[in-house]
């Protein structure tokens, strides 16, 4: 279901409240059922049917560097009691016109002004309000179910992170766990974590070996850099 679009008749309305009202009028309340058939419903099925104590979500366009999962696993299982309830890796939004790390801090005063991190504040693990579901590990027992909206904003990852925070638990981001985020089969973006000051620089890589295609990719990259 796309943002503010009725999944039955494809009608489109500007706000979530009007969307719900009109959809209920037209479709006799079927909106309430359909609202929960998006990505969040798939995540909740994992929570409901998994038999293990830990849940690890990894999206198919995310590839971590060596030992990325081991670092998340060790972080959340270290100590008695365990050190953390949830931890995530660091990766860029894959769209080249949005150079930000997926994750950040929620703006309670103006929710729609909430945005992702431009850079990490430290190279040590730190607590955040929300992150994406691209590369995250958490204890099933202590984490909430996913829901599609928060403050009338369709953002299941924001809603999940804030619900976890409301429960008194913490969501950690580990700067040492860097992931590649693929935009195509051949290309991906990743933050440069060698220096905190350079974390907001996007690096685009390609597996293409054809020299003609490589030259074309370089032209695109330079055009973006020179904007």
Which pLDDT score is estimated for 91?
A: 94
CB count in 10 Å sphere of residue 26: 13
Angle at 20 between CA 18 and CA 26, to 5 degrees: 100
Which pLDDT score is estimated for 3?
A: 42
Long-range pairs of 13-21 with CB within 8 A, sequence gap ≥ 24: 15/152, 16/149, 16/152, 16/153, 16/154, 17/152
* Structural domains of the chain, ranges and CATH numbers in brackets: 1-35 (no CATH), 51-227 (3.90.550.40)
Q: What is the pLDDT along the chain (227 residues), one digit of tens a residue?
A: 334 444 444 444 444 555 455 545 554 444 443 343 456 778 888 888 888 899 999 998 999 998 899 999 999 988 656 678 999 999 998 876 677 899 999 988 888 888 889 888 888 999 999 999 999 999 998 898 888 888 878 788 889 999 999 999 999 999 999 999 998 888 888 887 665 434 433 444 444 444 554 555 455 555 555 54
Four-point Cα dihedral 163, 168, 169, 172, nearest 10: 80
Which pLDDT score is estimated for 109?
A: 86
Which pLDDT score is estimated for 189?
A: 87
Largest CA distance in the chain: 58
Note whether 93 and 188 are within 8 A (CB).
no
Which pLDDT score is estimated for 72?
A: 93
Q: Is the pTM of this model over 0.85?
A: no
């Amino acid at each position: 279901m796309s943002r503010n679009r009725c999944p039955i008749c494809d009608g489109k309305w500007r706000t979530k409240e009007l969307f719900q009202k009109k959809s209920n009028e037209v479709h006799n309340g079927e909106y309430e059922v359909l609202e929960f058939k998006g990505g969040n419903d798939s995540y909740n099925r994992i929570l409901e049917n998994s038999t293990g104590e830990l849940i690890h979500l990894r999206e198919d366009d995310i590839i971590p560097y060596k030992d990325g999962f081991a670092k998340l696993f060790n972080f959340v299982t270290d100590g008695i009691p365990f050190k953390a309830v949830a931890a995530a890796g660091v990766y860029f939004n894959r769209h080249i016109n949005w150079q930000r790390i997926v994750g950040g801090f929620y703006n309670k005063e103006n929710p729609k002004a909430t945005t992702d991190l431009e850079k990490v504040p430290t190279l040590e693990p730190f607590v955040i309000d929300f992150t994406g579901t691209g590369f995250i590990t958490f204890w099933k027992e202590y984490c909430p179910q996913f829901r599609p909206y928060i403050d009338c904003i369709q953002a299941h990852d924001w809603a999940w992170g804030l619900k976890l925070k409301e429960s008194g638990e913490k969501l950690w981001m580990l700067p040492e766990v860097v992931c590649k985020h693929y935009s195509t089969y051949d290309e991906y973006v990743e933050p440069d974590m060698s220096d905190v000051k350079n974390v907001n620089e996007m690096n685009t890589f390609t597996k293409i070996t054809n020299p003609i295609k490589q030259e074309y990719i370089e032209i695109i990259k330079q055009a973006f850099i020179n904007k």
